Homo-oligomer: A and B are copies of this chain.
Amino acid sequence: MLEDKNPQRTTLENLGEFGLIKHLTQNFKLNHDSSVLGIGDDAAVLDFKGKKTIITTDMLVEGIHFDLSYMPLKHLGYKSVIVNLSDIYAMNANATQITVSIAVSNRFPLEALEEFYEGVAMACKMYNVDLVGGDTTSSTTGMLISITAIGIAEENEIVPRSGSKPNDLLVVSGDLGGAYLGLQVLEREKEVFKVNPNNQPDLEPYSYIVERQLKPEARKDIVALLQKLDVKPTAMIDISDGLSSEILHLCEQSSTGCNLFEDKIPLDPTVMSTSEEFKMDVTTIALSGGEDYELLFTIDQSDFPKIKGNPNLTVIGHITDKGEGAHLITRGDTKIPVSAQGWNSFNP
């Protein structure tokens, strides 16, 4: 018997827009009391019963934000949700609903969208968020994703970027630079594959950083941990564009400066070994790589005992007066201004 090597391909035209939305979203259930009415009407209805509503939105474009040659669609669906949830957690809020809009060219069959939505569903399940709306349409070329995430918080829980004050400690969750290096590994494998399509890449030694790139997580656990530790950050932001860019945002909006210590930046061993392999400066990668989706926040010094020694949290510096500016104190004890393109300044 001959094996059918072609995976199933159902063209989207056969389903039509409404059939498509119904098909893709039929297994999504509403789990939150605040999700009053989901997909299927002109709009969704939410009820936050007097609490604050938190809204954020992000757009992902094929060829700019992702490359389908090494990004499986299921991972893409998952990651697209994660990058939005991360912004909600960065407000110290809880994510409750998302809307997912997607535009695809006719090179995508139904099965591709199903895979994408499998990833969306997995993220919804992992993070307990309800899919309540969206739009599905055609594009002239490639795939585009726009997601809006909605969250909930009590007024006194919300942590904006603007609340840090001099002498606060600068804290980061997890470790940095992995997602960027994972991307470098994947791009190198893509080049190898172009030359020799039979080459089987061994990604095993890079599994941590490849996963940081392909299947990042949002730090909902850190929001819960801080609550458990009874620590309310004075300011918080998520690290999507690299540590230096986010530090500058936080300082600008808080009207403060900061001192950041190079030797305190948390790095995974794989990040250190791979950056050596790629002959790249590991600090530069942590400062400017981006896509880590960790949380960067400031706490009052009096809260230090509560977080001290916690393996998920690292104190990497402190806040100063605005006039002092934002500086990196290097391992060699040199003071360098933090800039959004850190690699230009100190990696000549």
Chain A positions near chain B (C-beta within 8 angstroms) = 16, 18, 36-37, 40-50, 52-59, 61-65, 86-88, 90-91, 93, 97, 99, 101-103, 132-135, 137-142, 144, 146, 148-151, 153, 155, 158, 160-162, 236-238, 249, 253, 340
Contacts and interface: CB of A to CB of B under 8 A. Distances in A.
Q: Which residue of A41, A135, A249 has the most chain B CB atoms within 10 A of its CB atom?
A: A41
A309 B59 CA distance: 46
A43 B87 contact: yes
A101 B56 CA distance: 10
Nearest to A88: B43
B103 A144 contact: yes
A42 B87 contact: yes
A154 B151 CA distance: 20
Nearest to A149: B43
Contact of A238 (B42, B58, B90, B153): B42
Contacts of A99: 55-57, 148
Contact of A135 (B54, B58, B135, B137): B58
Nearest to A101: B59
21 contacts: A40-B253, A42-B56, A43-B87, A44-B54, A45-B52, A45-B53, A45-B55, A45-B91, A47-B155, A55-B133, A56-B133, A57-B99, A57-B135, A57-B146, A59-B102, A59-B103, A61-B103, A61-B137, A62-B140, A63-B140, A135-B146
B57 A47 contact: no
Nearest to A97: B55
Contacts of A57: 99, 101, 133-135, 146, 148
B55 A150 contact: yes
Given A61-B140, A139-B64, A140-B62, A44 B55 contact: yes
Number of copies: 2
Contact of A141 (B48, B65, B141): B141
Nearest to A132: B55
A25 to B, nearest CB: 13
Contact of A101 (B146, B151, B153): B146
Nearest to A44: B55
Contacts of A137: 59, 61, 64-65
Contact of A53 (B53, B58, B144, B340): B53
A18 B301 CA distance: 31
A139 B61 contact: yes
A62 to B, nearest CB: 7
Contacts of A132: 55
Q: Counting chain B CB atoms within 10 Å of each CB, which of A56, A86, A142, A236 scores highest?
A: A56
Contact of A161 (B41, B59, B151, B158): B41
Nearest to A16: B340
Nearest to A240: B42
A168 to B, nearest CB: 17
